[in-house]
Structure 1
Amino acid sequence: MKVLDYVALALTVIGAVNWGLIGFFRFDLVAFLFGDMTALSRIIYGLVGIAGLYCISMFGRIRNGADEG
């Protein structure tokens, strides 16, 4: 489960950085690297979205102390 947590967290950070670039500079890094709404870029956006939803579960685990040790 810890590996999945790290992967989800990394994808969520990538998404946050991309949104920051869009907000501040109007620059979409994913579209720049993989094309504007190509199949690969849509997969990346989808994975980032799923990772963000998965990270919601971290709130409950942190509150309950399940991530200790």
Structure 2
Amino acid sequence: MSGLQRFALCVLVIGGLNWGLLGIFQFDVVATLFRDGQASFGARTLYTIIGIAGLISLSTLFTPYRVPHRIVKKDNVRPLKSV
């Protein structure tokens, strides 16, 4: 996972928590941060960034999961010392 995808995932988690608070408690954190509410330029910009993060994270659904393989050479293997 690239750094951009990790950043997008973090932004999505923050956006998801905001939607959870909005759904459960009817409290919009983003609109509260900006005094003009959801119509302010800052809130619209933040909502746009969260939307772009969702589009970036969409690509992680279609990438196959790869298990990193560790290659061990026989030359590097040493016997365990007995105590």
Task: Tell whether the structures are fold-level matches, with TM greater than 0.5.
Answer: yes
Query: 2:46 maps to what in 1?
Result: 44
Matches within 5 A, 1:27-66: 27-35=27-35, 36=37, 37-61=39-63, 64-65=64-65
Matched position secondary structure for 1:27: coil
Structure 1: gaps spanning 5 or more residues: none
Q: Where do 5+ consecutive residues of structure 2 fail to align?
A: 69-83
Could you list the per-position Cα deviations for residues 29-64 of structure 1 after superposition, in whole angstroms to 9, with x for gaps in the alignment? 000012312111100000101111211100111xx2
- Structure with higher RCO (Cα < 8 A, 6+ apart): 1
- Greater than 3 Å deviation, 4+ residue runs: none
Q: How many aligned residue pairs are there?
A: 66
Percent of aligned pairs with the same residue? 41
Aligned-pair Cα RMSD in Å: 1.5
TM-score, scaled to structure 2: 0.71
Bigger radius of gyration: 2
CA shift at 1:15, angstroms? 0.8
